[in-house]
Amino acid sequence: MGQVKENLLTKGFSGRIGDEIVFRQVGNRTLFSKRPRRSTIVTPNQQAQRDLFSKAVVFAKTMLLNPETLADYENRAKLAGIDSAYRAAITDYLKAPQLSSMDTDYYKGAVGDVIWIIALDDFKLQHMMVTLQRPDGSLIESGAAVLEQGRWKYIATQASPIAGVKVTAVATDRPGKEAKLEKVL
């Protein structure tokens, strides 16, 4: 794909010349390329991607109807260098959150012990659930973590021995996509 620089003849031009060259405007730039050819055969993977993007468009349009959500996406778009709240909402839908680490050093099995979770998301996580299970799979406790200084903090409410305890954190973002991280103590 080529880019037109300082050419008065084609500056601001968009459209097609014959069947070979297509000009388009992206931001303040004029780009040109060979005319795209669409295949009439759609593979299952292509159809899945089209369906995913269609859902992202519906999500973005729905979210931007709410003035508070629109303002949130506008602010986040500016911070991320995205040119519109609409594109920011689509990006939010398409990218799932990630849980990068879980710090269980402060959890000793006592009530009030803390587990820290670091989560990454393009925009905003809605909530984080933490579950503690015994080695046999039975539930010790489960509850919501709270965001504190950029990390999620879970405070234990039940005492239990820590040997073999499985800690599971599940983060959910605005579009409902989840990320899960497990750690056995």
171 and 144 within one domain: yes
152 and 102 within one domain: yes
Residue 58, pLDDT > 90, answer yes
| CA distances in angstroms from 4 to 12, 18, 20, 27, 35, listed in the order given | 9, 18, 17, 13, 16
In a domain, 55, yes or no: yes
Residues 6+ apart with CB under 8 A from 6: none
Region 50-69: what's the mean pLDDT? 94
Residue 7, pLDDT > 70, answer no
pLDDT of residue 5: 61
In a domain, 2, yes or no: no
In a domain, 1, yes or no: no
pLDDT band at 114 (very low <50, low <70, confident <90, very high): very high
175 and 115 within one domain: yes
Residue 129, pLDDT > 60, answer yes
Region 1-20: what's the mean pLDDT? 67
pLDDT of residue 6: 62
Tell me the residue type at 90: I
Distance between CA atoms of 133 and 121, rounded to whole angstroms?
26
Sheet holding 15-17, edge to edge: 2-4, 29-34, 21-26, 15-17
Question: pTM value?
Answer: 0.71
Q: Which domain holds residue 56?
A: 44-94
Residue 4, pLDDT > 80, answer no
Structural contact between residues 11 and 4, judged by C-beta atoms closer than 8 angstroms: yes
109 and 141 within one domain: yes
pLDDT band at 9 (very low <50, low <70, confident <90, very high): low
In a domain, 160, yes or no: yes
By percentage, how much of the chain surpasses pLDDT 90?
Answer: 46
In a domain, 137, yes or no: yes
In a domain, 6, yes or no: no
Residue 169, pLDDT > 60, answer yes
pLDDT of residue 44: 93
150 and 106 within one domain: yes
From the list 109, 104, 108, 95, the residue with the least C-alpha distance to 168 is 104
